[in-house]
Amino acid sequence: MSEASKGERVADWFDGRLGIHALGRKYLRKVFPDHWSFLLGEICLYSFVVLILTGVWLTLFFHPSMNEVTYEGSYVPLNGIRMSEAYASTLDISFDVRGGLLIRQLHHWAALVFVAGMLTHMMRHFFTGSYRKPREINWLFGWLLLFLGLFEGLFGYSLPDDLLSGTGLRFVNGALLSVPIVGTYLSMFLFGGEFPGEDIVARFYALHILVIPGIMAALVVAHVLLVVYHKHTQFAGPGRSERNVVGAPFMPVYLAKAGGFFFLVLGTLTLLAAVATINPVWVYGPFRADQVSTGAQPDWYLGFAEGLVRVMPGWEITMWGHTLALGVLIPIVVFPLLLVLIGVYPFVESRLTGDQREHHLLDRPRNHPVRTGLGAAWIALYLILLAGGGNDIVATKLHLSINAVTWTIRIAVFVLPVIVFVVTRRICLGLQLRDKELVAHGRETGIIKRLPHGEYVELHEPLDQARLHTLTAHERPGELLQREP
């Protein structure tokens, strides 16, 4: 029997039990549009894969215990120092395990890129309107991945039990204690007693390697399946409509490009891990409850949460014999609300506009000035709060008063988003007028012609049909305000 016939028999065996022939015929030739912005989602996926692979490797060497040991390892400056097993094993991974520091830094860099990729990916979906029907559920899946990713990162960099992560946990403890009535109980439950407790590392470890990754993996699978089911969105262009997708087939074109892009992402992350130090825990030393790391800053994606607390006045009120620390309580309420605004926006927009139609063509951001302005305003608010999270660093580096920096940020929190919204909206309207001029008169050529009566005019060249289609394939302002019967 020939080798080919054996392969056919194996394929027939699987096809008779799994129906892979019908599935392959339907999905392996599925068309994917070709646009650079679609690579943002792939960066998220590939970074997540790198996180899983490096995380599994790190679990083989990390000891999630707060039992005290005396360090006797390769890093001489800390020899003889009492520290937790978690911190000691992190030092061992960094200095005594072959390739340990590279894998550990690769894991951390992949986490930063993963969250950055998710935020940028969602921005692309927001500004192009791809979250509209029938993709609202998939938008929520992506939003949940972003929300979980923030806390997954917090739990991850808290595991080494170094002075920097311990300072961050003190921040978490203070936030929990500010919750009325149950704050003390929440803190005791999480830390296993008075801060810093004895169980925090073990509990965060279980959440970090098991609970949250499992939920995120399920959400990633569901997210990809819904993308396949709903088909890809695409930008307007010749031959493209709400009922078709123009692009390359999954097999072999898209699969080859996706495979190559995975190795580009992996190579870039590995290069970063090899040449750029991140989270050097040996510099900070082990956590001690009586010490605070100087210039302590969380990873960038949680910097805006710390900024909320730093710029908030230290207000306190007393009600029914209980003191409410509003300086902390208000920020921990505003923090999730800023994220919730992202998750519920598709439903709010659909409700306000009365638009219940299916949308498979993407919008140019300029054609929806209000939506684009709102997105830009949210980003401005996020960035100003991120600066607030490092107000001490800003003041030190720029040789400014920290009080002046703090008050500037307090004012900017309320003023800057409004200014950004107005300016962005006006820019979008201006770009619309420019597109209108291009459609009506064509492109300027730079050629000056003198008319018979002596007037000088610049000649315009008509746009090609593809460009005209791109500039005109959108709804007129106000159409979405008309409710369908």
Q: Report the chain (485 residues): mean pLDDT per 10 consecutive residues.
A: 64 73 69 85 95 96 93 92 94 95 96 95 94 94 95 92 89 88 89 85 93 96 90 84 81 84 95 94 88 76 89 86 85 91 93 88 91 95 92 90 94 96 95 88 85 86 81 61 38
Handedness of CA 47, 119, 301, 405 (dihedral sign): positive
pLDDT at 108: 96
DSSP class of residue 207? I
Q: How far apart are CA 377 and CA 166, in angstroms?
A: 33
**Ramachandran region of residue 374, left (φ > 0), alpha (ψ -120 to 50) or beta?**
alpha
pLDDT at 4: 54
Pair 91, 282: CB distance under 8 Å: yes
Q: How far apart are CA 304 and CA 228, in angstroms?
A: 34
pLDDT at 26: 67
Handedness of CA 329, 333, 334, 336 (dihedral sign): positive
Q: 281-300 as b/e, with b when 16 or more CB fall inside 10 Å?
A: bbebbbbeeeeebeebbbbe
Pair 352, 198: CB distance under 8 Å: no
Terminal-to-terminal C-alpha distance of the chain: 66
Residue type, 449: K
CATH class of this structure's domain 33-363: mainly alpha
Handedness of CA 226, 230, 232, 236 (dihedral sign): negative
Task: Using the structure block, give the residue that is written with the tokens 């890129």.
Answer: 113
Q: 262-274 as b/e, with b when 16 or more CB fall inside 10 Å?
A: beebbeebbebbe
Q: How far apart are CA 268 and CA 276, in angstroms?
A: 12
> Pairing state of beta strands 82-84 and 68-70?
antiparallel
In the three-class reduction of DSSP (H, G, I as helix; E, B as strand; rest coil), residue 443 is classed as strand
Pair 331, 313: CB distance under 8 Å: no
Other Cβ atoms less than 10 A from the Cβ of 145: the count is 23
pLDDT at 485: 34
- Which of 148, 149, 165, 152 has its CA nearest to residue 116? 149
**Ramachandran region of residue 279, left (φ > 0), alpha (ψ -120 to 50) or beta?**
left
Stretch(es) of the chain classified as CATH 1.20.810.10: 33-363
pTM: 0.88
pLDDT at 3: 53
pLDDT at 444: 84
